[in-house]
Amino acid sequence: MSEPYVHARYEPVRRKLRFWIRVVTGMLVKTDKFEGAENVPLNGPLILYSNHIAFIDPILIIHAAPRNIVPLAKIETYAYPVIGIFPKLWHVIPVRRGEVDRDALRACLDVLAAGEIIWIAPEGTRRPAFQETKDGLAYIANRSGAPLLPIAVDGTIGFPALPFSKRWKGPGVHLKFGKPFRFKSGPRPGRAELAQMTLEAMYILAEILPPERRGIFADLSQATQETIEWL
């Protein structure tokens, strides 16, 4: 995504892919509930962020969101057999983990500048519950001025699965979209302020997650909202 981002260029392919996402997920994923999708603004830039517990999470978020989104994914995803075709066609933003990936940051800012939506997993990897987060979420939100909206993900582990398999007998997928907000920080926040912004955003997400998914953010009494402005 080194060239300027033009959303209309990718929309025809994304519409077709989204149709097949709905078909495949309908057959291979048991859905219990999608709630709060009406909280997603129908236009303008937005940063969706969520916990990440299974590789299918961003696909289901694409399925549930009322607008097309541009997810971030580790660059290795492009090399996966068969599955790797999807991020190439969708033009997912590839991220080199373990370093400050300036190309990925620039791509995120380009998509947001075009008035579109990106999706970020703040931990940068899959975990059953939060252990640590990076400050990329706060950095991108501050640089772009885009609002944020948390999504709580649960029940995706084990899917996709064939109907009538053991996994289908258990709980299905539950996605919960939270409320939009933005950061009140100045133009160039320092590391301490970025860390506080990240912490406060993660507690907002933790509050709508099941307790067993909250990890290091389990104690909601520690949450503050000094950098948060609700929309």
| Arithmetic mean of pLDDT, 206-227 | 97
Q: How confident is the model at residue 78 (pLDDT cuts 50, 70, 90)?
A: confident
Kindly state the average pLDDT of the residues 126-132.
94
In whole angstroms, give the CA distance from residue 29 to residue 22.
10
Half-sphere exposure of 120 (CA within 13 A, CB side): 30
What does the mean pLDDT of the chain come to?
Answer: 93
pLDDT band for position 124 (50/70/90)?
confident
The architecture CATH gives domain 7-230: 3-Layer(aba) Sandwich (3.40)
- 6-27, pLDDT tens digit by residue? 889 999 999 999 999 999 999 9
The yes-or-no verdict on residue 87 having pLDDT over 50 is yes
- Which segment of 27-36, 80-89, 211-220 scores lowest on mean pLDDT? 80-89
**What is the rounded average pLDDT of the residues 195-207?**
97
Q: Which position has the higher pLDDT, 102 or 180? A: 180
Q: Who has greater pLDDT, 182 or 96?
A: 182
Question: How far is C-alpha 128 from the chain's CA centre?
Answer: 15
Could you tell me the pLDDT band of residue 1, with boundaries at 50, 70 and 90? very low
Q: What would the pLDDT profile of 138-150 be if each residue is shown by its tens digit?
A: 999 999 999 999 9
Task: Count other Cβ atoms within 10 Å, centred on residue 215.
Answer: 19
Residue-level pLDDT at 2: 54
Q: Are 108 and 118 in contact (CB under 8 A)?
A: yes
Determine the average pLDDT of the residues in 205-227.
97
CB contact at 8 A, 175 and 64: yes
